[in-house]
């Protein structure tokens, strides 16, 4: 078991904590040494004091096509940890199921600073869940704190930045937009699963034990436990013990047994076997 410390990155809109990463941009040394560079997920806590850019990420095929060998796509999801009143985010394009916008139309809107007319703004609150498949146009609004679980990828194509003078990637961004079958934003239920990761929210009042599956003992067999809120302790069968508090995260090796005691809500994060 490894308790991971956040790696903080200041941004013009707030900051993000990389809390479980083997990505070269900000790796956790302990996780990298234990499971190697092949761990396929990246987990962050994002504090958005202002709106992030409107952006889109490529899927695996487009990442390879546009960026070359060794690149993967970026499917991600957000769990809202906290939200100021009337907080919103961009979740796809407006009326996308009824109308398909051409690249030329969207490029013109970007150049004319009218892209906001095409964006689907959604109100969100604490406890909501948003699944962002690769190819989805999106932007986190100000006043939000999110848990983000994603493929281990840092490829972002920025389409629009609310007038801020940062680089945009219009051609590549428009080339990778795919907005089919988006799941409506809603409060997180007990579990969620996609091709890349599985999430399970567990409420603990007293004790909870689990045995991490051995699988084939690959990097992707490591599991993560994130504390949404509350406090307690976690103990292993080998006598290791750690105090847990809100937003702590631990990595559990394949075959390891842990027991958590206290009153807390956790999010269990696993790689999906489809992408082992």
Active site members:
158
**CB neighbours (10 Å) of residue 118?**
21
H or E, element range at 3:
strand 2-4
Cα 132-231-48 angle, rounded to 5 deg: 35
Place of tokens 């939000």: 144
Work out the burial of residue 229: count CB atoms within 10 Å of its CB; fewer than 13 is exposed, 13-18 middle, 19 or more buried.
Answer: middle
Task: Give the torsion through C-alpha atoms of 253, 259, 260, 265, to 10 deg.
Answer: 70
Residues β-bridged to residue 147: 45, 79
Place of tokens 């394009």: 93
Is 180:88 a contact under the CB 8 Å cutoff? no
Residue 200, helix vs strand vs coil: strand
Residue 272, helix vs strand vs coil: coil
Q: Using the Cα atoms of residue 4, residue 48, residue 116 and residue 172 in order, give the sign of their dihedral.
A: negative
């Amino acid at each position: 078991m490894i308790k991971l410390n956040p790696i903080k990155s200041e941004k013009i809109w707030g900051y993000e904590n990389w809390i479980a990463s083997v990505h070269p941009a900000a790796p956790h040394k302990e996780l990298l040494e234990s499971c190697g560079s092949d761990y396929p997920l990246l987990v962050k806590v994002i504090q958005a004091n202002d709106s992030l850019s409107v952006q889109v990420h490529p899927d695996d095929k487009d990442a390879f096509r546009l960026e070359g060998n060794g690149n993967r796509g970026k499917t991600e999801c957000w769990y809202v940890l906290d939200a100021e009143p009337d907080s919103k985010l961009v979740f796809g394009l407006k009326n996308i199921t009824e109308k398909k916008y051409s690249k030329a139309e969207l490029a013109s809107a970007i150049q004319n600073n009218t892209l906001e007319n095409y964006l689907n703004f959604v109100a969100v609150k604490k406890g909501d869940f948003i699944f962002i498949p690769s190819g989805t146009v999106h932007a986190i609004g100000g006043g939000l704190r999110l848990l983000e679980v994603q493929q281990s990828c840092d490829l972002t194509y920025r389409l629009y930045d609310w007038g801020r003078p940062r680089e945009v990637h219009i051609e590549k961004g428009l080339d990778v937009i795919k907005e089919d079958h988006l799941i409506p934003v809603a409060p997180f239920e007990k579990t969620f699963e996609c091709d890349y990761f599985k999430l399970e929210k567990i409420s603990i009042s007293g004790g909870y034990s689990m045995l991490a599956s051995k699988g084939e003992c690959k990097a992707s067999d490591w599991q993560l436990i994130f504390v949404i809120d509350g406090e307690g302790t976690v103990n292993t069968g080998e006598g290791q013990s750690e105090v847990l508090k809100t937003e702590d995260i631990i990595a559990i090796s394949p075959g390891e047994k842990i027991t958590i005691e206290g009153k807390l809500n956790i999010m269990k994060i696993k790689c999906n076997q489809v992408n082992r």
